[in-house]
Amino acid sequence: MKKLLFSSMLLAGLTMNAEAQDFPDDIKPLMSKYTCTACHKVDTRLVGPAYTEVAKRKYTTARILELIAVPKPSNWPGYPPMAALKVPEEDATKIAEWINSLAPKKKAKKA
């Protein structure tokens, strides 16, 4: 019985992992280089919020750059404070624009 339960849990974990969204090829190296992947995933909470959740906040690119350099823990209650990161503006902009691309799209109104 224990083996069956363990096997089921393992299979469920692998299935959930297979469904999780991954970083695009052009963003993944930046996320690794600046250790973003240690605390964030694309669509799943880890230590910090998922990037899809960040995108829902509709921060401007400039605001995301500010929050990378000087995080505001009050923006994300229930999460540990993020450490300030020194990410060059060009790389931070690419990351911020990608995060913003994850925001839910507005539905077109019917005429």
Per-residue pLDDT reduced to its tens digit, 61-91: 999 999 999 999 999 999 999 999 999 999 9
pTM to 2 decimals?
0.76
Residue 102 per-residue DSSP state = T
Percentage, residues of the chain above pLDDT 90: 74
Residue 3 has pLDDT above 90, yes or no: no
DSSP string, 19-87: HS----TTTHHHHHHTTGGGT--SSS-SSS--HHHHHHT---HHHHHHHHHS--GGGSTTSPPPPP---
Indicate the domain borders of the chain: 24-101
**How does residue 10 score in pLDDT terms, banded at 50, 70 and 90?**
very low
Residue 1 per-residue DSSP state = -
> Ranked by mean pLDDT, which of 9-13, 89-93, 103-107 comes out on top?
89-93
Q: Which CATH class is domain 24-101?
A: mainly alpha
